[in-house]
């Protein structure tokens, strides 16, 4: 009797192999978790990655070193834009304020104002548009002067951001009599974290201009539309938007983003309207071995791959037009 039960029948072995084969096939078809995907993409990058992403509808998040302070490069301009919205909202500033560009204001790097004949009269809205769309450094410095460096940093602190700071104007020395914080040499223009800069973009995307417990004002939506129009028109699209713009449902206003670049740094902070809610992606590639400036720069490609993995996981049906998109230009001002 023992010998008869020592070996399973051939039919049983066949059935067992069939079951195991189906199970293995299903396992191969099951995609890796999003957490595993983003870590795998980051592991392949020749440098460091900081990431914080959130689906504002489902509250799903994925992150890599989200609280590590990093160089902002030009994504700190999001904080400048937010302060501008708050000052226009309060009447302290106006979009039609006149600002004069002088030869002394023209600095190198990104942007076109350095090529224009000076003096040149601009509005605050002109300056902000150039700062966001083209990441114009001369425009950025004009905005900082008009809004006040100390006001921008005070607003950052008021938002509860512990590791975000704008140190000075672009390619300019520290203001006379102002001592730079000890870590300025490490971070340059500004510092932040992936999580904190995601919060700034979230507040713009959601149009959260009121103080905690405060009341939304009638013109808030129009103010935010002005800012979002700039962010939708972002000129630099080789990072987060690279693969997303080819997804089903993608429209001209599906993505609002702001980039930042240095030789060893590529950053992109984006708000993406999807079929499954608004998604915020705040990605920083730093200590990059690739210091090139071409379209195939590795930091930008890595951010693009991260954005694609996140959106494909959270919204497999693709992108959507921006919520409440007016279909035509909206203006605002005080």
Task: Give the Cα separation of 109 and 172 in Å (integer).
Answer: 12
* Interval 33-70: pLDDT, tens: 999 999 999 999 999 999 999 999 999 999 999 999 99
Q: Which stretches within 135-244 are classed as H helix?
A: 137-147, 149-158, 184-187, 194-205, 220-232, 241-244
Helices (H), the chain: 10-29, 34-44, 77-90, 124-133, 137-147, 149-158, 184-187, 194-205, 220-232, 241-244, 298-314
Average pLDDT value for the chain:
90
Is-contact 319 251, C-beta < 8 A?
yes
Mean pLDDT for the stretch of residues 220-247: 97
Q: How many residues does the chain have?
A: 334
Q: What pLDDT does residue 324 have? A: 84
Q: What is the mean pLDDT of residues 67-88?
A: 98
123-148 per-position pLDDT tens digit: 999 999 999 999 999 999 999 999 99
Task: Say if residue 14's pLDDT is above 60.
Answer: no
Cβ contact 147:85 at 8 Å: no
pLDDT at 10: 53
Give the residue from 220, 199, 96 showing the smallest Cα distance to 157: 199
Cα–Cα distances in angstroms (integers) from residue 168 to residues 68, 199, 230, 245, 270, in the given order: 21, 22, 23, 34, 24
Average pLDDT for 15-26: 47
Answer yes or no: are the C-beta atoms of 101 and 118 closer than 8 Å: yes
Phi, psi of 255 (to 5 degrees): -125, 130
pLDDT band for position 25 (cuts 50, 70, 90) = very low
Q: Give the three-class secondary structure for 176.
A: coil
Return d(Cα 137, Cα 106) in angstroms, integer: 8
- Structure tokens given for 173: 């020395």
Q: What is the distance between the alpha carbons of residues 31 and 309, in angstroms, rounded to a whole number?
A: 11
Alpha carbon distance 268, 101 (integer Å) = 28
pLDDT of residue 21: 52
State yes or no: pLDDT of 20 exceeds 80. Answer: no
Contact indicator for 219, 334 with CB cutoff of 8 Å: yes
Per-residue confidence (pLDDT) for residue 199, from 0 to 100: 98
Q: Grade residue 19 by pLDDT with cuts at 50, 70 and 90.
A: very low
Q: If you average pLDDT over residues 213-238, what whole number do you get?
A: 93
- Across the beta sheet with 48-55, what order do the strands follow? 61-64, 48-55, 277-286, 265-274, 255-262
Q: Under DSSP, is residue 94 helix (H, G, I), strand (E, B) or coil?
A: coil
Q: pLDDT band at residue 1, thresholds of 50, 70 and 90?
A: very low
**pLDDT band at residue 30, thresholds of 50, 70 and 90?**
very low
Segment 248-269 shows an average pLDDT of: 98
* 11 contacts: CB under 8 Å, gap ≥ 6: none
Q: Is the pLDDT of residue 29 over 50?
A: no
- pLDDT at residue 16 is higher than 70: no
Encode pLDDT of 308-330 as tens digits. Answer: 999 999 999 999 999 987 544 33
Q: Looking at residue 331, what is its pLDDT? A: 39
179 or 291, which is more confident:
291
pLDDT of the residue at 321: 97
Residue 44's pLDDT is 98
Using one digit for the tens of pLDDT, what is the confidence trace for 157-198?
999 999 999 999 999 988 788 889 999 999 999 999 999 999
């Amino acid at each position: 009797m023992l010998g008869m039960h020592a070996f399973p029948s051939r039919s049983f072995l066949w059935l067992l192999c069939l079951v195991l084969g189906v199970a293995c096939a299903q396992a191969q078809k099951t995609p890796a978790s999003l957490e595993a995907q983003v870590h795998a993409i980051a592991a392949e990058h020749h440098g460091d990655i900081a990431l914080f992403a959130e689906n504002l509808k489902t509250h799903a998040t994925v992150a890599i070193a989200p609280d590590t302070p990093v160089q902002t490069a030009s994504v700190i301009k999001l904080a400048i834009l937010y302060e501008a919205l708050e000052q226009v909202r309060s009447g302290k500033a106006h979009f039609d304020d006149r600002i004069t560009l002088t030869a002394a204001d023209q600095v190198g790097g990104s942007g076109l104002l350095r090529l224009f004949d000076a003096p040149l009269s601009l509005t605050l809205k002109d300056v902000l548009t150039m700062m966001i769309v083209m990441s114009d450094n001369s425009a950025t410095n004009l905005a900082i002067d008009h809004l006040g460096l100390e006001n921008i940093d005070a607003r950052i602190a008021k938002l509860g951001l512990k590791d975000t700071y704008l140190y000075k104007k672009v390619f300019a020395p520290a203001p006379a009599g102002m001592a730079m914080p000890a870590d300025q040499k490490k971070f340059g223009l500004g510092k932040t974290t992936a999580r904190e800069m995601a919060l700034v973009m979230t507040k713009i995307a959601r149009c959260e201009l009121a103080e905690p417990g405060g009341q939304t004002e009638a013109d808030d939506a129009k103010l935010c539309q002005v800012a979002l129009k700039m962010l939708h028109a972002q000129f630099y699209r080789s990072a987060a938007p690279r693969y997303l713009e080819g997804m089903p449902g993608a429209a001209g206003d599906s993505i609002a983003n702001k980039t930042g670049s240095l030789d060893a740094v590529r950053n992109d902070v984006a708000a993406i309207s999807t079929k499954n809610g608004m998604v915020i992606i705040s990605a920083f590639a730093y200590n990059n071995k690739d210091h090139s400036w071409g379209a195939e720069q590795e930091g930008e490609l890595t951010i693009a791959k991260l954005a694609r993995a996140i959106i494909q996981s959270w919204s497999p049906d693709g992108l959507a037009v921006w919520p409440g998109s007016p279909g035509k230009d909206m203006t605002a001002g005080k």
